[in-house]
Structure 1
Amino acid sequence: MANVSSFRRSQGVIFVAFLFTTFIVGIAGALQSPTLSRFLTFEVKADPRLVGLFFSVNALASIIGSFLLAKYSDKKGDRRNIVIFCCLMGVVNSVIFAFSRHYYILITLGVLFAALSSAAMPQVFALAREYAVKTGRNVVAFNSLIRAQLSLAWVIGPPLSFGLAIHYGFTVMYLSAMSMFFVAMLFAAFFLPSVEKNPILQLDNTIDIKSANQRLFKNRNVVYLLLSTVFMWTANMMYIIDMPLYVNSVLHLSDSLPGQLMGLAAGIEIPAMLIAGYLVPVLGKRNLFFIAIICGLLFYVGMILFTDEFALFALQLFNALFIGVVANIGIIYFQDLLPTRMGVASTLFNNGIICSTILAGIIQGFVSESYGHEIIYWIAFAMVAISLLFCALVKDKH
């Protein structure tokens, strides 16, 4: 028994557990999200209005649920136990979607359990940050390796989701997601560590505790970074929603091209995240953020100016550098601004992305229908430029 306990507490095993848990929870999410609109349309027989309502309610519930769990975890909850709880909620949610085809059950019970399970990933990142600080690891490099697992999950998950749904049905697909949550729950229970609250405070005497503990929306740095995050991710989500339609109906290129472009970008994002993690000590988080946003500006300028297939492939380098770096460094940036509230910090970053998804869907739908697809990329460029301005307003305290 002593040997088993020692094995479970070894840093190598815990590190692998963080990587594996992140990857498996990411796979579970990547199985469910890409085919949700197809499931609601063809299995539940919901009309487009009800599909849109479901996405909005689901996003809002996820924001509220994850934020409440984040506040609880920062005050008195054991993050490992909260991760286990969220995975259990994911298991229940998957079972409901696997066997129910009743819209009102899905938008009530289904959304409730989905909202509670949505906090799993922010809590894993918060726990990873606290563990890295406690054990003296390179925080950014540690986060980069873990964040890369989530990107890898989203390279593998969507094709697997469509393959399972189309060839074996949605029941099998959701039961597969259930099994992923169940495995992640076991790994969290047996191998993830429990970490005392706010170890960072014991290791860094330069932290302004008064500023870190003030109300979120009175903390200007947090507000500016949140606004910067929302604008940049809204631009990215508009691109993801609109690009397949733009390539098909405006550029008249191959139907398979959008998937190839997204796959290439996702593939480049992983090394971009890892390299960014090791460049932080040299360039600093703020400078890397600026470089990434400038890459985003160059990407959208390219989307406006170029229309041939080769150029679209080449532009994915800028797209991947933009998203890869801000996805990795962004969560660390929030945690640095709120070192006494790791759960809230990680959840703010995640909820900023969810808000962006809602805004992007509304803007893309209205604008593309009224003014065409080309203007989407001008709006995206403007949003990234505004994001750069808000990022410049964040004071660098490190």
Structure 2
Amino acid sequence: MHMADSLLCPAVGAAFWAASTAATVWAVRFVRSGKGLGQDMSRPGMDAHARPLLWIGVLAAFVFAAQMFNFTIPGTGSSGHVVGGVFLASLLGPHVAFLVLAGVLAVQAFLFADGGVLALGANIFNMAVLPCLVAYPLFERLVFLRTGRWGLAGLALLASVVGLQLGALGVVLQTQASGIASLPFSAFLGAMLPIHLAIGGVEGLLTAALVAYLWGARPALLYAVPAGSIATLPFPRQWVIGLGTAACLSAGVLSWFASSLPDGLEWSIATTERSNMQAAAPSPVHERLQALQNQVALFPEYRFPVRATVRDEERWPSIDPSTSLAGLAGGLVTLLLAVGAGAILRRLPAPREAQA
């Protein structure tokens, strides 16, 4: 669902940069109050759901690596990948999850040229704001109905599907508001929502399975479990090691088995557009941002900058060591960014209202 700059006009792109920046400021103020972030449990205002920074960083790396794997949607000629918003929110809470996912999307845009720079604000809004700060709160509020393991799993499934549907709708509305892509609204909407319903269903089932498993194995890791209802135990290092290993395997090996079919957004555009469609000429803003992205993207198309080789796009699995190296490097950058940003936020003074 990563939008390219060619779908957005500068005004719409700037508007969603502003909207995502506002959401980031709000989330930062929340975590600065000591909620959900850090290891210093003695700090005033620190709540029982605070997570170690290394755990947050490993989760960020894992979501980055998981997004490298596209799975085929049978019978459509399309593919999709998990977004991870509800997954992260289930473990970290909505605000920290949003910040982590926004960081993942920024790394993808600037280092991997995955999604445009102008479109980064819209991509953060669609894939981080809507799942983490809109869809997940429904999950979080309903959890207090005490519906048990399978009730929580069902709510995780619902939140994942709703979050992805809202994101797909956001893409359609942003594209239509920009007016530079000749995509009929009804046809584009009719392609985007069903294909992302299928993708959201897969992600929702995976997230629901995780929640159901953790409910029995380690409920303290679930953010939605009310504080004080479970025993406080030392944070399990084996989970950090295990998830870090899974991130490395996903980036280094599982990425070889990613589907080569177009993703849901690409498929929807191809399904909707007319053969005589004329692409709008890029504006100076588009050209400058594209030039910037070309300069800073160290791993374009998720490939490490090694000696150029001929790549067989039809071969599956696509065993490419440069993809593995790029994925591992990207996961490491994402981990360091999450841990570094978290360390800075943890050391900043809490907002005045939190100190009162």
- TM-score past 0.5 threshold: no
TM-score (norm 2): 0.33
TM-score (norm 1): 0.30
